[in-house]
Amino acid sequence: MSTPHRVVIAVFPDVDLLDVTGPAEVFAVANREMPGRPYEVVLASADGGQVRTFAGVRIATDVTFDQVCDRVDTLVVPGALDAAGAPMIDPDLVGWIAATAGHAGRVASVCVGAHLLAAAGLLAGRTATTHWATAARLAADHPDVTVDPDPIYVRSGKVWTGAGISACMDLALALVAEDHGERLALAVARQLVMYLKRPGGQSQFSVPLWQAPTERRDIDELRGWITAHLTADLSAAALAERMCLSERHFSRVFGKETGATPAAYVEAARVEAARRLLETTDEPLDQVAAACGMGSVETLHRAFRRRLGTTPAAYRRRFRTAA
């Protein structure tokens, strides 16, 4: 019988419960689906005792961090947020992660656990993802990391990073697929009533951040006007004329203040309006497209594919809130 693949999951106070139990459940179901129990899951904490999670549920850990031996096939690093909503970064934990990662076969972070990997220097020069709500912070705190806020998970060499919370199970399924093939991963996904590969990225679930205030009141007023007049001519030329600026100067000022071109901003505003209609109404797609200034269903489809990685119909099926 082959030696089980040893998965060590770091556990610490106020850790997100699902970040720990989600991957553990995936590996446990893989053991049930495959002869020989291919995985050994070990929970490690600073003291080796019970740890209270953010959900209030206490988890009994198996070993202390110091007792984790050199054989770590996969190190899983979950995340936690402090009272202000910022990722928790404990220097002692970061040091242990850095030391353990050196002899681990691979390292995977869950949700905001990516901030711990970055603090440990494991994401430098790599592409990574994290929960969409903290992606901008990760990029700002660690400019040497290329942060992509949309994927459900990203692999960069031996380092994997996962998106927000429930995506921990998608990430774990991908690890099972790498170890034992997609047939086993699919069997596990079926048992867990999950997609093997979730359609679309986490942008579908995010709250748009493009309405953050700028330093110019006239730009903020223009953005409010755009939101209220999505069916108007919102070309850069028309918006520049409304601002009494040349098109070139307007585009430069708008990009500096918002971080987006006028065309990209307008498309984002129209997609957001379409999302709300798809979530709350049964209007046909052509009416949704018209109401949001998209003009045609084809344009609506292209914008959704580009921004959300899904189709309007699939988005409606997933997020429709009322009959």
Asked if 298 and 265 count as a contact pair (C-beta separation under 8 A), the reply is: no
For residue 229 the two structure tokens come to 């007049």
pTM of the model as a whole: 0.72
User: What is the residue whose two structure tokens read 């430098």?
Assistant: 124
Residue 136 is predicted with a pLDDT of 92
Mean pLDDT per 10-residue run, the chain (323 residues)? 90 97 97 93 96 97 94 97 94 97 97 98 96 94 93 93 92 94 91 79 58 78 89 96 95 91 93 89 94 95 91 87 57
3-state secondary structure of 42: strand
CATH topology of domain 5-202: Rossmann fold (3.40.50)
> Rounded to whole angstroms, how far apart are CA atoms 22 and 39?
15
* Cα-to-chain-centroid distance, residue 292: 27
Distance CA 152, CA 172 (A): 11
Tokens of 12: 């610490």
In whole angstroms, what is the distance from residue 300 CA to residue 274 CA? 8
Q: How far apart are CA 259 and CA 61, in angstroms?
A: 45
| pLDDT at residue 101, rounded to an integer | 97
Q: How many CB atoms lie within 10 A of CB 30?
A: 24
Query: What are the CA-CA distances from residue 73 to residues 6, 103, 169 (Å)?
Result: 5, 9, 18
Res 279: pLDDT = 83
Q: What is the set of active-site residues?
A: 111
Distance from C-alpha of 209 to C-alpha of 139, rounded to nearest angstrom = 15
Q: What is the pLDDT of residue 36?
A: 86
Distance CA 4, CA 145 (A): 33
CATH number for 217-319: choose from 3.10.580.10, 1.10.10.60, 3.30.70.260, 1.10.3720.10.
Answer: 1.10.10.60
* pLDDT of res. 149: 87
The pLDDT of residue 246: 96
Contact at 8 Å (CB) between 109 and 143?
Answer: no
Is residue 278 a contact partner of residue 321, using CB atoms and an 8 Å limit? no
**Confidence at residue 209, expressed as pLDDT on a 0 to 100 scale:** 42
pLDDT value of residue 322: 55
Which tokens belong to 181? 């093939």
Enumerate the domain spans of the chain: 5-202, 217-319
